[in-house]
């Protein structure tokens, strides 16, 4: 990397106007960006804050990427973290894909989509729907795409549980 890894970073925040709305942080190198925009999507049970700081309070990946010349957009999934509330019954993978896709469409340039864990499966769906705005997908320990998995066999069902036999992924 040629940029100064200690360069200052500007941080702003926003919310998309689309439904579902998505809160996001945007980090930009103070000297201006010279590399592609990265949209860094968190995994399940996380928020975008995981890209901003490490648990021991060091700068996270988003800060480092901005120091190296990338504009970095770090959203919270719709209904998660600092994004607007969504009733649990309405919170689906498609809702997440709709919100992140609308954010990507609102950006002025194509992006590199960085996904982690559970958002890996969402990343492939977002690519299917918004591929013209995505230069590359980087999936860190991604969950597999859900639309190519065989449906698991239902072994038992009760009023408060469903037992299934899934396929082991290797």
pTM for this model (two decimals): 0.85
Is 9-165 a CATH 3.40.50.1820 domain? Answer: yes
Can you read off the two tokens belonging to residue 42?
């968190």
**Beta carbons within 10 angstroms of residue 81's beta carbon:** 16
What is residue 6's predicted lDDT score, i.e. its pLDDT? 58
162 has a pLDDT exceeding 60? yes
What is residue 5's predicted lDDT score, i.e. its pLDDT? 54
Can you read off the two tokens belonging to residue 98?
């709709």
Question: Rounded to an integer, what is the distance from CA 56 to the centroid of its chain?
Answer: 22
Task: For 121-158, write each residue's pLDDT tens digit.
Answer: 999 999 999 999 999 999 999 988 776 777 788 999 99
110 has a pLDDT exceeding 90? yes
What is residue 65's predicted lDDT score, i.e. its pLDDT? 95
What is residue 151's predicted lDDT score, i.e. its pLDDT? 79
Closest among 62, 16, 67, 9 to 38, alpha carbons compared: 62
Q: In the structure, what pLDDT confidence band is assigned to residue 9 with cuts at 50, 70 and 90?
A: confident
Task: For 43-84, write each residue's pLDDT tens digit.
Answer: 998 999 999 999 999 999 999 999 999 999 999 999 999 999
1 has a pLDDT exceeding 50? no
Question: Rounded to an integer, what is the distance from CA 70 to the centroid of its chain?
Answer: 16
Closest among 84, 83, 17, 98 to 48, alpha carbons compared: 83
Nearest-5° Cα angle at 34, 123 to 114: 15
């Amino acid at each position: 990397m040629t940029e100064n890894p200690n360069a200052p970073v500007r941080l702003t925040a926003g919310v998309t106007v689309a439904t579902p709305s998505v809160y996001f942080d945007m980090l930009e190198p103070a000297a201006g960006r010279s590399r592609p925009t990265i949209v860094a999507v968190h995994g399940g049970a996380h928020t975008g804050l995981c890209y901003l700081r490490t648990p021991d309070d060091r700068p996270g990946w988003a800060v480092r990427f901005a120091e190296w010349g990338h504009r970095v957009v770090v959203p919270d999934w719709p209904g998660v973290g600092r994004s607007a509330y969504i009733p649990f019954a309405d919170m689906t993978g498609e809702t997440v894909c709709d919100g992140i896709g609308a954010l990507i469409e609102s950006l002025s340039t194509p992006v590199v989509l960085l996904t982690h864990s559970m958002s890996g499966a969402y990343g492939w769906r977002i690519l299917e729907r918004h591929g013209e705005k995505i230069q590359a997908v980087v999936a860190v320990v991604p969950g597999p795409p859900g639309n190519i998995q065989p449906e698991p066999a239902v072994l038992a069902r009760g009023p408060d549980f469903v037992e299934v036999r899934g396929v082991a992924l290797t």
